[in-house]
């Protein structure tokens, strides 16, 4: 009986630190996953910055598609899909 009591005391001393250890490991895993996501985002953005600095064709594509810029004397015709038009209608209906 005394042996059982000693064993329970020893076990009760190690359970709380073990739970904290498990929580700590889970938090480390979560932070590492977030770090990995941020590294992927950083590499994508770094690649895009390098392309914008070094590739005139890529810069022109971005200027046309994202900024709606055009060359002098140029006329641009945009063809939108039915899904894009439906999205615009929904957005304008909300306003």
Nearest 5°: phi and psi at 71? -75, 160
Reported pTM: 0.55
- Tell me which of 29-33, 72-76, 86-90 is least confident: 86-90
Task: Compute the chain's Rg from CA coordinates.
Answer: 29
Asked if the model's pLDDT at residue 10 lies above 90, the reply is no
- More confident: 27 or 10: 27
Instruction: Yes or no: say if 59 and 52 are a contact pair by the CB < 8 Å rule.
Output: yes
Domain ranges of the chain: 2-94
Q: How many CB atoms lie within 10 A of CB 83?
A: 8
């Amino acid at each position: 009986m005394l042996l059982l009591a000693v064993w329970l005391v020893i076990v009760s001393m190690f359970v709380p630190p073990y739970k904290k250890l498990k929580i700590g490991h889970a938090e480390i895993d979560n932070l590492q996953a977030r770090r990995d996501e941020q590294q992927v985002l950083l590499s994508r953005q770094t690649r895009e910055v390098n392309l914008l600095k070094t590739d005139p064709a890529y810069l022109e594509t971005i200027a046309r598609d994202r900024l709606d810029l055009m060359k002098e004397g140029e006329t641009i015709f945009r063809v939108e899909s039915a899904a894009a038009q439906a999205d615009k209608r929904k957005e304008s209906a909300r306003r």
